[in-house]
Amino acid sequence: MKIMVETSAHHVHVTRETLDVLYGKGHQLTNKKDLSQPGQFACTEKVTVVGPRGEMTMSILGPERPDDQVEVSLTDARKLGIAAPIKESGDVAGTPGCILRGPEGEVEIAQGVIAAQRHVHLDPKTAEEFGLKDKEIVSVKVGEGTGRATVFGDVVIRVSPKYAPAMHIDTDESNAAGLGGTVDGEIIK
C-alpha cells in the first residue's frame, strides 16, 4: 500500500471573524498555491503567532475554517513557549491558545495550538481498496535508501470523500527521517 508522504510546515487556519480583525473587514484570502487536498490552498497572507517565549511568522491556509487553529512542530512549540498537544487537525478542544497578529490587528485565541498527529488522508474508494477504515491506526515506512529509513507509528487514517490520498507529517518528523520534498511511503497494518 504505497502512499504519497508530504511535509506539512507550520501554518494557521482562521475563521472569518479572525480574518476580519487580522486583515480588515471583508478581506478575502489570496490563493498562492493549491495543496494536495482538494479545495485547500496556501495563501499569500501571513500572521505572526505570539507565545509566552517567542513569535514566528506563519502562512495562513485557506479556505476559512469554523475554528482558529495553529499547527506547529514540537520544536516550534518550544520556541513559542507553548505546550502544544499532539492532536488530530480540527480537534482544538482543551488546547492552549496564543496571539495572532496581522497587519490590521491582533486576536488572542483561547485555544487552537496543536502539533498535528501524523495522518493519512484517504477517499472512501482508496480506503476500501487498502482495507482501511476511518480512525484506524497504522504504521508507515519511509525513507528507504536515505540512510535514515523510518517507520512512523501511531498514524491515524482519515477517510472522507473530500480527501485525496496523502500522508502528512510535520517538519520535525520529516527531518528525523532525512526526507526531502514529497516521497513515497508504505502503509503497514
Domain ranges of the chain: 9-116, 119-188
Alpha-carbon distance of 160 to 177, in angstroms, equals: 28
Pairing of strands 98-101, 137-142: unpaired
Q: What confidence tens digit (pLDDT) does each residue in 84-115 have? A: 999 999 999 999 999 999 999 999 999 999 99
Question: Which pLDDT does position 66 carry in this prediction?
Answer: 96
Q: What confidence tens digit (pLDDT) does each residue in 49-74 have? A: 999 999 999 999 999 999 999 999 99
Alpha-carbon distance of 186 to 52, in angstroms, equals: 39
Question: Which pLDDT does position 181 carry in this prediction?
Answer: 84
CA 3 to each of CA 113, 140, 184: distance values in angstroms, whole numbers, following the listed order: 27, 9, 6
Q: Which residue reads 484517504 in cell numbers?
A: 122
| Average pLDDT for 162-185 | 94
Give me the CATH topology for the region 119-188.
Barwin-like endoglucanases (2.40.40)
Question: Which pLDDT does position 145 carry in this prediction?
Answer: 82
Pairing of strands 69-71, 11-13: antiparallel
